[in-house]
Amino acid sequence: METILITTAVITVIGLIVGIGLVFTGKKFRVEVDEKEVAVREALPGNNCGACGYAGCDAMAAAIAKGEAPVNGCPVGGNPVAAMIASIMGTEAGEIERKVAFVKCKGTCEVTKNQGEFYGVKDCVSVALNGIRTSACDYGCLGYGSCERVCPEKAIRVVDGCAVVNPERCVACGLCVKTCPKGLIELVPYDKKVRVQCSNKDMGAIVRKVCSAGCIGCGICARKCPAEAIKVENNLAHVDYANCVQCQACATACPAKVITVPEGAGEEAVNG
């Protein structure tokens, strides 16, 4: 009996010592939790896409709570999320210009010349790294769907050899932009529908040999634009969205029909 009592006493003492140690350690190494940071993190969509410029939603929430990032810095959440975070931080959100991904290529299988068939791994990144060419156009969409696979919203899909974006599903996370090895995808203002659907920087005669839907750099679009919002650089037309008034004069005048006004572009194809 005496042995049992001694053992019990020893265990009790050890337990008290360990408990006191844990309390002391917890107080000494306690990490203060910023309640605003927690609230902001809960308001963020949780995509962890990095479109805001931070490693993920946790990093973004910490930066907002510290005043190092704007309350409307999440392009995926848009104005509703910005308003929630602004309320948490006690400030004004301001308006966010909605953006969508846009593929600067119109080179479907029907308009580009085929260089042959590829039977390896169907991945744009690996194909580009290995210098494999199945299309005569060096600037066009490879069509192997790397962008499609990384899209969390299923807003982009390869149709007839060329990636197509459904603007109604796109949340502008930018993952497809980062993934495309050709740099063909960019985020553009949702409300600005006039867009140049080509990336070929070769001279017009060369473009015509590889793709019947490519920009030939003729400059007619620039001459027709009343707002001087479009110009040709490196044989390729570019739209200045800040000045574009959406008159569509450039799209009407374009002889190659490469300047498009994609109202709901790709929605039927992607949904189908």
Angle at Cα 126 formed by Cα 125 and Cα 132, nearest 5°?
Answer: 105
Q: What is the Cα–Cα distance from 158 to 147, expressed in whole angstroms?
A: 9
Q: Supply the pLDDT for residue 269.
A: 37
- Within 13 A of 52's CA, how many CA atoms are on the CB side? 30
Q: Could you give the 3-state DSSP secondary structure of residue 221?
A: helix
Check pLDDT > 50 for residue 266.
no
Q: Supply the angle between the helices 78-89 and 35-43 in degrees, to the nearest 10.
A: 170
pLDDT, greater one: 5 or 229: 229
pLDDT, greater one: 9 or 220: 220
Map out the domains of the chain with their CATH numbers: 35-89 (1.10.15.40), 99-271 (3.30.70.20)
- The pTM (predicted TM-score) of the whole model is 0.75
Residue whose structure tokens are 């948490």: 88
Q: Supply the pLDDT for residue 115.
A: 64
Q: Residue 132: how many CB atoms within 10 A of its CB?
A: 14
